[in-house]
Structure 1
C-alpha cells in the first residue's frame, strides 16, 4: 500500500511538473512583435512568407519572441498605411507595395520600368542588390529594411475586350499598382486607375474599370477570375514590394533577437521569393483556366514592338525622377539592367 501511494505521489509530481513546464514555455515570450500586411489571411504573403518567418524567429529566440500578424481584415490592413504605421511605431514590421502611396520610393520605382524584369527571382535579387549597393538613395532611410522583392512579369486582365495588340489597349480603363505602370499605360493610350486590391472586384463588377494590370496571384486573391474573360500574358512590368521594420524598435531589442532577425532576413529571405511567386502564380492561372477564361500569349515579335513603343516613356520617366530627388536615375536603370541580366543568366539560362 505504501508503494502504491508513493507511486501515485511521484506520478502526481511528474504530471504537475510537466504542466508547469508547459505553462512556463507558453508564457515565456518576453517580446511581442507585430507585423501587418494588406492581403487576406489566406494569401501566400501570410501562409508561405510571414507565418514561417515568424515561427523561425520564435524558434531561434527559444520562445523569447512572439509574433502577431495582422492582415487586410484588421485595422492595420490598409495598403496605403503600411510603412506609415511602421514609422509611427504602431506596427513593428509591415509588408507593403512600393507604389502606394505614389512617389514614396522614387528610386526603387526604377525596377518597375516596362520590360525590365520577367522573373520574380531576378527582379527581387536586383532590387535587393540595388539597395545593398546604396543606389536607392534616401528611399527607406527611416527603416530597418528586412527585404525588398518583386513579382513575376505582370499580365493585362480584361472583362470584355481581348488585348492582342497595342491598338487594343487604347481607351481601356485599367487598374494600376504604381506611377511607373501608370506612365506605361498612358503611353499605350490606356487610362490608368489607382485602386487598392480590396476595391478591384467591386469596380470590375460595376464596370468602372475595363480590367487591370497585375499578376495571376492577385486576380485569384480578389476572386476577379469570376468576372474577367481575357488574360494577356505580355510580361510587361513588375511591381516592387518592401518588408520594413521600425529602426528604433529593432535597435531596442536584445542582441540575440537582433541577430536572429538578421539571420532570417535579407539575402536568405529574398532568395525565397522566386519559388513563392512561382507557386502563387500557378494557382492564379489554374483558377482562370477553371473559369474557362482565354489566355492570350504575346509572341516575341509583338513583345518587341511593345518594348520599342515604350522607350520614350522610360526616358521621360527617368528624367522626371530627378525632380523627386533621385540623383542619377539613368545610372540606377543601367545598373538594374546589368543585374537583371546577371540573375536571368544565373536562374533562367535554359529558359526560352
Structure 2
C-alpha cells in the first residue's frame, strides 16, 4: 500500500512539473551589414551575444542577421531598430547620408588614423555632444576604423595628381568631398557592390581600411594600395530604447556590462588585427603597397583645408556647435594618440 502511495505521489509531482510553465526566455533580433566572415561578426557580434546569454543564465538568446540576409541591408540598420523590426543593429553612420551630422564630423580629413583613439573619443563625447542624434535608441557602443587607404585596380597612386579622374567608391559625404577636392570622382556604393563594379571597370578603386579588402575578397580585383591614412568613418551599435526598457532589470544589467566602456575599449586591438590580415593577403598576392610620404601628406593637407572649412560651415546649418565639436574631437584625439 505504501508503495502505491509513493508511486501516486511521484506521478503527481511529474504531472505538476510537466504542466508548469517554462522559465521565460527572450529572443532578441540583431542585424548588421557585414559578411559572416568579417571580424565584426566573428570577434565582436557573436561573442557579445554569447556573453549576454551566459550572463542572463540563458534567459536571453539572439537571432543574428548578417549582411546578405533579409535584414542585412546596410542602409536600413538604424530604421529597423527604431521601427522594432530588429532589436539591436550595427551600422555605418554615413549610409544613408545626413542622419548623424555631429558624429560624422570625425570623418573630416586628417582627424585621426587610430581606431582605438577614435572609438574612445566618440564614446566619451556621446553624452554631451552627440546624444541628440540617437533619440529612440539605447546606444551600446560607437567606434571607428583605422585610417583608410586608397585601393586601385590598374593605376598606381602616389601623389595627388594620380587621383585625377579616378572613379572611387566612397563611404560618406565628408570622404566624397575629400576625394573631389583631390581630383577623383567619388561613387557612392554599398561595400558589397564594390567587387563587381571594379571587376566590370565601372569604378577604378575604393577607399577602405585594410580589413574589408579581405572580407569582401577585393584583393582579387585590386593591385595597388596607398596607405594614406587620411580619414576614418564611424559605426554605431544600438538597441531599440523601448525594447531595452521593457526587459527585466537583470537582463538590462547584463547588456550594460557587455557594452559601453568595456566594449569600446576593444575596438583598437580588433581593427589592428583585422587590418593586418587584409594587408598580409595583399602582400602574399604580390600587390604594390605605397605609403604616402610626409611631403605629399602636407600637400594634401593644404589642398583639403578649404574643403574642411566648407564642410564644417555646411554642418553648422544643422548643428549650431559644429566647430566646437570638431575642436573637442581634435583635442581628445591628440591626447589619446600621444
- TM-score (normalised: structure 2): 0.92
Name 2:162's counterpart in structure 1: 168
Name 1:10's counterpart in structure 2: none
Aligned length: 321
1:283 to 270, 277, 300: 277
1:44 corresponds to 2:35: no
What secondary structure, in the 3-state scheme, does the structure 1 residue paired with 2:298 have?
Answer: helix
Q: Distance in 2 between matches of 1:199 and 1:209?
A: 11
Shift of 1:40: 0.8
Name 1:82's counterpart in structure 2: 77
1:224 corresponds to 2:198: no
Q: Which runs of structure 1 show a deviation greater than 3 angstroms over 4 or more consecutive aligned residues?
A: none
What secondary structure, in the 3-state scheme, does the structure 2 residue paired with 1:100 have?
Answer: coil
Shift of 1:73: 2.1
Q: Deviations over 1:56-110 (max 9, x none)?
A: 1011111111112111121000000001100000100000000000001011111
Shift of 1:142: 2.0
What secondary structure, in the 3-state scheme, does the structure 1 residue paired with 2:337 have?
Answer: helix
Mapped contact 1:29–1:66 kept (Cα < 8 A) = no
What secondary structure, in the 3-state scheme, does the structure 2 residue paired with 1:312 have?
Answer: helix
Name 1:330's counterpart in structure 2: 323
What secondary structure, in the 3-state scheme, does the structure 2 residue paired with 1:139 have?
Answer: helix
Q: Which runs of 5+ in 2 are unaligned?
A: 1-9
What secondary structure, in the 3-state scheme, does the structure 2 residue paired with 1:276 have?
Answer: helix
1:182 to 176, 186, 199: 176
Q: Deviations over 1:252-272 (max 9, x none)?
A: 000111111111111110000
1:306 corresponds to 2:300: yes
Shift of 1:29: 6.1
What secondary structure, in the 3-state scheme, does the structure 2 residue paired with 1:69 have?
Answer: strand
What secondary structure, in the 3-state scheme, does the structure 2 residue paired with 1:274 have?
Answer: helix
2:90 to 83, 88, 95: 95
1:270 corresponds to 2:264: yes
Q: Deviations over 1:182-228 (max 9, x none)?
A: 01111111110000011100000000001001111111111111111
Q: Distance in 1 between matches of 2:160 and 2:135?
A: 39
Q: Which runs of 5+ in 1 are unaligned?
A: 1-12, 346-352
What secondary structure, in the 3-state scheme, does the structure 2 residue paired with 1:175 have?
Answer: strand
Name 1:127's counterpart in structure 2: 122
Q: Deviations over 1:235-257 (max 9, x none)?
A: 01001100010000000000111
Shift of 1:28: 5.3
CA RMSD, Structure 1 to Structure 2 (Å): 1.6
Name 2:337's counterpart in structure 1: 344
Mapped contact 1:164–1:296 kept (Cα < 8 A) = yes
What secondary structure, in the 3-state scheme, does the structure 1 residue paired with 2:332 have?
Answer: helix
